[in-house]
Amino acid sequence: MDIYTETILDHYQHPHHTGALNDATVSATEHNPLCGDVIKLDLKIKNNVVEKIGFVGNGCAISQASISLLCDAVEGKKISSLKKLKPKDIYDLLGVTISPGRIKCALLGLSALQKALKLTKN
Amino acid sequence: MQQIKKDFPIFKRTINGKPLVYLDNASTTQKPIVMLKVLENFYFTSNANIHRGIYTLSEEATDKYEAVRKKAAKFIGARTEEEIIFTKNTTEAINCVRVSWGEKNIKKGDEIVVSSLEHHANLVPWQELAKSKQAALKIIPLTNDYTLDAEAYKKLLSPKTKLVCLTVESNVTGTIVPVKQMTALAHAVGAKVMIDGAQSVGHIPTDVHNLNCDFFAFSAHKMLGPTGVGVLYVKQSLMEEMAPFMYGGEMVESVKATSATYRSGPWKFEAGTPNIAGVIAFGAAIDYLSNIGFKKIMAHEQELLAYAKKMLAKYPQVKIFSPSQKHAGGIISFAISGVHPHDIATIFNNEGIAIRSGLHCAEPLMNYLGVYGTARMSFYIYNTKKDIDTAEKALKKVLKTFKL
Ligand SMILES: Cc1ncc(COP(=O)(O)O)c(C=O)c1O
C-alpha cells in the first residue's frame, strides 16, 4: 500500500524531460482543478515520431512521477503507437496501486499527451 | 470534553487499520447520535409534507420544522424567526442574495467589495453579478500576518460601494475577521453587508442583530447537523423588497392560470418541498451545541490550536499559515517545501488521519499566499491532543518518506 516507492520518489525529486522545448511542433496544457496541478507538454514531432518531449508543471509526487516516466516512454516512439496508450499503461509504469482519489493525478500527463496528439496533423 | 467522542458513532471506525482521527472539520463535521436519532425518527414515525395537509402528521411536521426556524433565529441572535430562510447550504444562501437582492440593486458602475479570504462561495457569485451588471469587484488585500488590511479596506469604500462580502472566519488560515467594525464602515457609505458564517456559527457565538449585517449565511453540516440544510438570515427591513429566489409550490399565495402572487417573509424564498427531516434534525444539533456552550467549545479549540501550532513549529521544514493574533479559529494550514499537500494527506490517511489538502475552494487566496495548495487541520469539540500527537507521527513519516 505504500505508493512512495524509490522509483516514484526518484522521478518526483529528479524528474526527467523538464523544461519547455523551443522547437516544439505541438503543445498541450492540462490542469487538475481539484488540486491546482498544471502541466504543459511540448513535443517535437518529425516523420510521425516524437523526437523530443519536455514538460513544465508542478504537482504531487504521483502526477510528477507519472509524467516523468511517461516522457521517458514516449521519446522516440511513433505517434500511431502512442495513440494506443491506456490508463493501464501508466499504472504499469508507476508500478503501484492508484487509489480512486489519485487517478486524476496519475493520468494528468497522459491526458496532456492525448490532447497534443489530437492536435497533430496526421 | 474527553467523553464527547463517545457521542459520535463514526469514531468506532478504523481507517487503514487505525482508529479514525478526523481533522477535516472545516469541510464538514461528524454527527452526534442525538441528531441522527431525530433524523431517523422523523422518517420512521412522523414523515409528512409541511404547510399542506390538514391532518395530524402534516401539522406535526410543520410545527417541528417551524420550531427550528425559531431555534435557529435565537441561536444567531435574529430578532424574529421571520428573518430565517432555509436553503440547502451556505452556497445556495449566498446565491439567493445574488438573485433576490443583487439583480435588482446592483447597477452599472457600482462596486462590490469582497475580502481576499473568501471561499469561492462568497466570491464567484459576486464575480458573476459584477460581470453581468458591469459593476466592479474590489478585493480587500491581506497583510503579512494573514489578516485583512484594514487601511486598504477603508480606501476601497466609497459611495459607489453597494455591497461588502466578508467571511467571519477563513477556512484556510483560521483568521477571524473584525466583521462588526467592517460592517459599520460599509454602512457608513451606504453599502449592504453579506456575511459568510459557514466557519464560525458552530465555533464562536453569533449575534446578527448586534453585528447589524444585512445578510448572513451558514451551513448545518459544518456544525454537527445533517447535509442539505443551510440558513440565510436577511434583515427584516430588506426582505420584503427582495424578489423570490425560485418559483413553484409552497412559496405562492394564490395562483391564477397566467399569474401568481407570493407569500411574504422567509416562505417566499422556500419554493418546493424543503429538507424537512434535515431541518428538524438540525434543531437537535443546535440543542447539542447549546448544551455544551460556546465558552467550552472556544476554550477547547484554542487549546488544540495552540498545541498544534507548537507541534508544527518544531519542524523547520514546515511553513505555517496562521495569524499571530490571539483570536484565530481552530483551523491551521501548513505546507512543506518539496512535498505536495496531496502527498501529505495520503501519508496522513495511511495513519487513519483525515486532513484536507489542496486549494480549499479558495484559489485566489492560494495565489496571495504564494503556494500551490496547503494541508489543513481543523478541529472541533471531539478532537483531542492525542489526535494531534497522532498527526505529529504522520508528519514525521512524511519528512522521512521525502528525505527532508
Ligand atoms: C468559509 C466558507 N464559506 C462557504 C462554504 C460553503 O459551504 P457549503 O458547501 O455548505 O455551501 C464553506 C465550506 O467549505 C466555507 O468554508
Whether A1 shows a pLDDT value over 70: the answer reads: no
Q: Which residues pair with B183 in a beta bridge?
A: none
pLDDT over 60 (residue B36):
yes
Pocket test for ligand 1, best of B122, B166, B169, B219 (most atoms within 8 A of CB): B219
**A6-A10-A12 Cα angle (round to 5):** 120
Q: Where in chain B is the domain with CATH 3.40.640.10?
A: 35-290
- Read off the pLDDT of residues B151-180 as tens digits, 9 standing for 90 and up: 999 999 999 999 999 999 999 999 999 999
Would you state the pLDDT for residue A32? 85
Residue B360 has pLDDT above 90, yes or no: no
**β-strand partners of B287:** none
What dotted CATH number matches B35-290?
A: 3.40.640.10
B16 interaction partners in chain A (CB closer than 8 Å): 1
CA–CA separation, B149 and B185 (whole Å): 14
CA distances from B60 to B46, B156, B343, B366, B373 (A): 7, 50, 50, 48, 48
Tens of pLDDT, residue by residue over A52-80, are: 999 999 899 999 999 999 999 999 999 99
- Answer yes or no: B361 catalytic: yes
Q: Is the CB of B167 under 6 A from ligand 1?
A: yes
Q: Is B171 in the pocket of ligand 1 (CB under 6 A)?
A: yes
- Using alpha carbons, list the distances in angstroms from residue B352 to A84, B391, B400: 38, 9, 18
Which of A4, A36, A102 faces B372 most closely, judged by CB atoms? A36
Lowest-confidence segment of A71-75, A100-104, B127-131, B193-197 by average pLDDT: A100-104
**Residue at A21: amino acid letter:** L
Q: What is the mean pLDDT of residues A18-45?
A: 91
The structure's pTM equals 0.94
Q: Is A100 on the interface with B (CB under 8 A)?
A: no
For domain A6-117, which architecture applies?
Answer: Alpha-Beta Complex (3.90)
- Percentage of residues of chain B with pLDDT beyond 90: 92
Q: Give the count of alpha carbons within 13 A of B234, CB side only.
A: 27
Q: Which pLDDT does position A37 carry in this prediction?
A: 83
Query: Can you give the pLDDT at residue B86?
Result: 98
Q: What is the pLDDT of residue B308?
A: 97
Which cell numbers hold the place of B168?
467571519
Query: What distance in Å separates the CA atoms of residue A1 and residue A17, rounded to the nearest whole number?
Result: 28
Confidence of residue B280 (pLDDT cuts 50, 70, 90): very high
Give the architecture (CATH level 2) of B4-23+294-401. Alpha-Beta Complex (3.90)
pLDDT at B325 > cutoff 80? no
pLDDT tens per residue, range B47-59: 999 987 789 999 9
Which chain A positions have a beta carbon within 8 Å of B347's beta carbon?
A: 4
Mean pLDDT of B273-281: 98
CB-nearest to B342 from A2, A13, A60 is A60
Q: Given pLDDT bands bounded at 50, 70 and 90, which one contains residue B324? A: confident
Cα(B209)–Cα(B76) distance, rounded to whole angstroms? 8
In three state form, how does the secondary structure of chain B look?
A: CCCHHHHCHHHHCEECCEECEECECCCCCCCCHHHHHHHHHHHHHHCCCCCCCCCHHHHHHHHHHHHHHHHHHHHCCCCCHHHEEEECCHHHHHHHHHHHHHHHHCCCCCEEEEECCCCHHHCHHHHHHHHHHCCEEEEECECCCCCECHHHHHHHCCCCEEEEEEECECCCCCEECCHHHHHHHHHHCCCEEEEECCCCCCCCCCCHHHHCCCEEEEEHHHHCCCCCCEEEEECHHHHCCCCCCCCCCCCEEEECCCCEEECCHHHHHCCCCCCHHHHHHHHHHHHHHHHHCHHHHHHHHHHHHHHHHHHHHCCCCEEEECCCCCCECCEEEEEECCECHHHHHHHHHHCCEECEEECCCCHHHHHHHCCCCEEEEECCCCCCHHHHHHHHHHHHHHHHHCCC
User: Does the pLDDT of residue A121 top 80, yes or no?
Assistant: no
Determine the average pLDDT of the residues in B383-394.
98
- Proportion of chain A above pLDDT 90, given as a percent: 83
Pairing of strands B215-219, B192-196: parallel
If you measure from the C-alpha of residue B15 to the centroid of ligand 1, how many angstroms do you get, rounded to a whole number? 26
For residue B381, is pLDDT > 80? Answer: yes
Assess A9–B contact: CB distance below 8 Å, yes or no.
yes
| Integer Cα distance of B90 and B218 in angstroms | 5
pLDDT for position A122 = 56
What pLDDT is stored for residue A58 in this prediction? 87
Sorted by sequence, the CB contacts under 8 Å of residue B128 that are 6+ apart come out as B98
What does the DSSP 8-state code read for residue A98?
P
pLDDT given for residue B3 in this prediction: 87
- Cα–Cα distance measured from residue B299 to residue B316, given in angstroms and rounded to the nearest whole number: 28
Q: Mean per-residue pLDDT for B91-102?
A: 98
State the pLDDT at residue B106.
Answer: 98
